[in-house]
Amino acid sequence: MSLIDRFHPGFGYEVARFPRVERGRPLTFQNGENSGALVLGWSFSESWGVWSDGDRVQLGLVILSDPAETAKLLIECRVFITPMTPEQKVEFWARNIKLTEVTLRKDVSAIPVPLGGLRLGPGYPLILELRMPLAKSPQQLALSRDGRKLALGIVSARFEEGIAGPL
């Protein structure tokens, strides 16, 4: 963890644009909603949400309560799956800490990202980095002319504490 991340999380980001997230309330990304959370590496907005474009993206949020050890960010997403790319691997990082890693094999998924142990709140924004080493463009796979390097498309995110059900 760098000293800047440790003592000044959010330094260098437009934190004022980050959506404020309350427990249990979904943050949706349909039709351009909550675009302030899409910090780096996202494509254009679509009616259902937003695709990642590249092998790294960042999502910025301000969680409005201190999380318990059981806190999670539940991410509902689409996954770029084809016969040539039957799975996507996604690593979730915050403040140089690897929070979790998942392998997705379905075109729609809900991913619980553990946040316990992170200091969060109005003075401590969450900048979540998603690393996706298997991202490919439909053009690379000879599926279409679409040159975006796709892996995961975000539909919504919801902050939860305790045991939570699916999105």
The enclosing domain of 101 has a CATH number of 2.60.120.260
Does residue 81 surpass a pLDDT of 90? yes
Does residue 87 surpass a pLDDT of 50? yes
40 belongs to a structural domain: yes
Coil, strand, or helix at residue 112? strand
The pLDDT score that the predictor gives to residue 1 is: 37
72 belongs to a structural domain: yes
- The structural domain count of the chain equals 1
Is 89:102 a contact under the CB 8 Å cutoff?
Answer: yes
pTM of the model: 0.87
Residues of the domain holding 60: 3-160
166 belongs to a structural domain: no
Tell me: the pLDDT tens digits for 98-139?
Answer: 999 999 999 999 999 999 888 887 788 999 999 999 999 999
Tell me: the pLDDT tens digits for 41-52?
Answer: 999 999 999 999
Average confidence (pLDDT) over 62-83:
89
Average confidence (pLDDT) over 64-78:
86
Rounded-to-integer distance, Cα 83 and Cα 64, Å? 41
The pLDDT score that the predictor gives to residue 120 is: 84
83 belongs to a structural domain: yes
CA 107 centroid distance within chain: 16
Tell me: the pLDDT tens digits for 6-37?
Answer: 444 455 688 889 999 988 889 999 999 999 99
**Cα-Cα-Cα-Cα dihedral of 134, 135, 138, 141, to 10°?**
-20
